[in-house]
Amino acid sequence: MKPAMGIDVGGSGIKGAVVDPATGELLTSRLRVATPSPSTPKAVARAAARLVARAGWEGPLGFTIPGVVRHGVVHTAANIAPSWVGTDAAGLIRDATSLPTVVLNDADAAGLAEMRVGAGRGRQGVVLLLTFGTGIGSALFVDGRLVPNTELGHLVMGGKDAEVRTSALAKTREDLSWAKWARRVDRYLAYVEALFWPDLLIVGGGISRDHHKWVPLLHPRAEIVPARLRNNAGIVGAALLAAHSHRG
């Protein structure tokens, strides 16, 4: 497959790069712009177009959204502007960049990357990737096949979405120690393990670069490993899907 570009939309930053789909290697520097405030569809599309122009890219584009995406249309918007709901994101980004575009959930993109070229490569059974950032993203795989749009950060714990108290943002906002935050993560993992009984847990997001400070403090039943691609997984997964969708 030929290279493709991936753009990953987060709560604080929009990141992108051109990727080799065979290896997951970034073929350009990792480009970043701040997520617009408010993060409306038009504002984010303009930011994506700037990243594409900076990369000088003219091929297939994969684009992630932190919400449920079905057939290119956004159905939920927890950490982006509510006006995304009902938006044809694939059409919007295609028009803004003049590139063939595929759109998917951000954690699903990270999961695809980790399963194909990262920590989950070659693993069968039930694999669950969880990304800890502004919220909590999730990607569930059964024998290598993605179950899309699980959005497990929105499971209710203590009357609130789990990500309100357990995301990396919550750790920063409340100035939690690694040990105290890890106890919250442990409770969350116990919940998702009771629902899905994964064979492997992969933990990612920006905070995964400090995995040695908190992953050893966790006590899940399943094997647990840090994401190999760290915070680039969303970029890589988006590019992998774009390359696969437009190969020829």
Structural domains in the chain, sorted by start = 4-108+232-245 (3.30.420.40), 121-227 (3.30.420.40)
Structure confidence by residue, pLDDT tens digits, 183-197: 999 999 999 999 999
Written as tens digits, the pLDDT of the chain (248 aa) is: 899 999 999 888 999 999 999 999 999 999 999 999 999 999 999 999 999 999 999 999 999 999 999 999 999 998 899 999 999 999 999 999 999 999 999 999 999 999 999 999 999 999 999 999 989 999 999 999 999 999 999 999 999 999 999 999 999 999 999 999 999 999 999 999 999 999 999 999 989 999 999 999 999 999 999 999 988 999 999 999 999 998 75
Contacts of 74 (CB under 8 A, 6+ apart): 65, 67, 68, 84, 85, 86, 87, 89, 103
State residue 248's pLDDT score. 56
pTM of the predicted model as reported, rounded to 2 decimal places: 0.95
- DSSP summary character for residue 144: T
Token couple for 34: 């701040």
* Spatial contact of 7 and 16, defined as CB atoms under 8 Å apart: yes
Beta strands 160-161; 200-204: pairing state: unpaired
Neighbours of 95 (CB within 10 A): 13
State residue 146's pLDDT score. 98
Task: Tell me phi and psi for residue 104, to 5 degrees.
Answer: -150, 165
Structure confidence by residue, pLDDT tens digits, 57-85: 999 999 999 999 999 999 999 889 999 99
State residue 206's pLDDT score. 86
